[in-house]
Every structure is written in C-alpha cells, then in structure tokens.
Chains A and B, each alone.
Chain A
Amino acid sequence: MTTILHKANTRGHADHGWLNSFFSFSFAGYYNPQRVQFGVLRVLNDDRVEGGKGFGSHPHDNMEIISIPLEGSLAHEDNMGHKGTISAGEIQVMSTGKGVFHSEYNNSPDQPAKFLQIWVFPNKLNVDPRYDQVRPDPSKGHNALQQLISPYPGPEAKAAAGNAEGTWIYQDAWFHMGTFDAGRKINYDVKRSGNGVYLFVIDGAFFYNGQRLETRDGLGVTDVEHLDIEAAEPGSRMLIMDVPMQNNIQ
C-alpha cells in the first residue's frame, strides 16, 4: 500500500473576492508538479462563490465534471437546453464530450454558495454531451456510504452491477459519501483492480491506518483492496473517490 497525504492547509489557493478557491491539485496559476492529479482525478476544487456572482458562459469538452454543493445553491444554464438550480444535497454531472457551453451562478443574491468541483478524465472521447442531476436519499447516507457516481449508465447496467444508486460518468470510477457518528467504522472495498482511492474529509475528522485526517484533508491510497476507516468526531462527512490510476481511453 502507498499513500499520499494532502493536508488542507497545503492546498493551492486563489482569492478573487467573489470566488475563494482551494485546490487539492494543480489548477489555474497554482502549479505543483507533485500534485497534478491522482490517477484520472484531475481537479478537486473547494469553492466559495459570493452572492449573485459566478462563472459566465464558457466551454468544456472531454471532461467529466461533478459538482457537489455543500451550502446554498447554484443556477446552471447550458447550450443543451438545461436551465435550473442545484442545491446542497444534490449532485450534478456533466459529461462534456465533444463540447458544451455553460454558466453557473450563485442562486442567492446575498448568501455564499459553497461547493466541490471535481473533474475526472473520461475513458471515452468526443461523446455526445450529457447532463444529469440527482438528489440522493439523505436518510441513506447516515452511518453508511451512499453511492453517488458509478460507471453504469441506465437502470439495466446498474441492476446488472447490483447497485442502482446515484448517477454515472464515462469512467471506471465510483464516488461514495456518508456522514458518520464518532467511532463508527467504514469498511470500504476498492471497486476495481488497479483503482486507487482518494479520501476527502468534508466535515469532522477520520482515522485511517493510524493517520488522523482533518476537515478538507485528502489522502490518496493505492495498491490496496480494502480500507478500514473510523470517524473521529460526531457528524464527520467523507467523500471517497475510487478511480483508475491509468486512463485507458476506449
């Protein structure tokens, strides 16, 4: 087993006034050759957008973009015809494929919106862009991991895999999240041989392999099949990203 620890206070940082971002991996003007990506996980940005502010229309392509609002809500609009809001408790996915233009603004005029922006390299290039937005059942994510993302498109593929929760992306990746009482154990089996697991503490603290992980710390773990994690504080919330360490583009 190998691990790589990214303490919260060592992340990249940019404060534009309206946007305050912490970067777990190299992004924009923050470039750290030791922290470019974890396998196909390329971007993990911890963003705070001030009320009424946001990102004007801009393009993306060939990137799987996952947004997880933590506080407040974002207004989204794209050239595929989607227009709506995404709020804390929901997950948004865009497979940007051969190209999409979109905008994202804080939906509140005066309250900040906080969210995680996660970008994963796809395993298929130039697909037709797709948009999805799901609200996982909040009762299932307490003292249990809840699947947010899997590689299984559609109910048949999900049923065949034995897990129909969440939405999907063009990658052999699985995201799970849960909120745990202090002392509760998480037993996590890596979903695919060759995948690594990136643990990101959203709230509270956890112990893994004798290491205490604090809020917004990240830990990448590779060459392992099973992880035993323990919540160290009440209301500790963790996002587990199980991703290929090599990208095999189909």
Chain B
Amino acid sequence: MEANILVVGRDRSILEVIERLINAHEGWHATITETEEAVLKAFKEKQYAIVFVSAGYSAPEEEAMRQKLTTLDPGVVVTRHYGGGSGLLENEILGILNKEKQ
C-alpha cells in the first residue's frame, strides 16, 4: 500500500533513521522535518496519509499540530511516534493503514 509519511521531530539523527526505515519499506515514502513551519510547507506540497510527531515535541504541541493539519486535510492521521525502534515504527504504520482500509 502506497503511503506518504511526514515525520516531525527535534532530533535530526533520530529523524534520519526513521526516514531510512520508512523508505526501506516498499510503497512507503518519508519526509522528515524539524519545525512546524516546515511541516506546513511540506503539507501544502504533497498529500500525506500520516504525520508522526516524534522526539522533542510535547503533547500540547502535538495537539496543536493535529488541529491545524486535520483542518487542512481531515483524512490525515496525526499521531505520536513512540520511538520503539524499527519494529514498533513498522507496526504503527501498519495499524494506521489497516484502520484506513476498513
């Protein structure tokens, strides 16, 4: 299943690993960003199925981003990425895409 996935976080080295892991999966395409401005810019250029909020962003910041992005695209899933490593990342994406199919 094809999916564009946007990841926003404040730790560049973690973002780069997440990007590599997502892109290693056939049909999944990652964009990584560090700021809210960059998120909004990326969001206007491409349609994303998932926006992962990663390390460095607080729960209120995550909620504010969810409000903004779902206003722009009610179909997008904005959710916390808990950095459990590759196994959890793959599973988080499978879970979201599975729900979308239903």
Q: Write the residues of chain A forming the contact surface with B, with a CB cutoff of 8 angstroms.
A: 26-31, 33, 36, 42-43, 45, 58-63, 65, 96, 98-99, 101, 119, 121, 125-126, 249
Partner of A31, one of B13, B54, B59, B94: B94
Residues of B within 8 A of A26 (CB): 91, 94-95
Tell me the dominant secondary structure on chain A's binding face.
loop
CB-defined interface of B47-86 with A at 8 Å, one 1/0 digit per residue? 0000000111111000000000000000000001011111
Number of B interface residues at 8 Å Cβ cutoff, please give it: 26
CB distance from B32 to the nearest CB of A (A): 13
CB distance from A243 to the nearest CB of B (A): 15
Q: How many A-B residue pairs have CB under 8 A?
A: 80
A119 and B11 form a contact (CB under 8 A): no
Q: Can you give 7 contacting A-B residue pairs, CB < 8 Å? A: A26-B95, A33-B98, A43-B87, A58-B86, A59-B85, A119-B88, A126-B57
Residues of A within 8 A of B87 (CB): 27-28, 43, 45
Residues of B within 8 A of A249 (CB): 59
- The 9 A-B residue pairs with the shortest CB-CB distance in the complex, in nearest-first order: A61-B83, A61-B55, A28-B87, A31-B94, A99-B11, A59-B14, A99-B55, A60-B83, A249-B59
Complex CA distance for A58 and B85, rounded to whole angstroms: 7
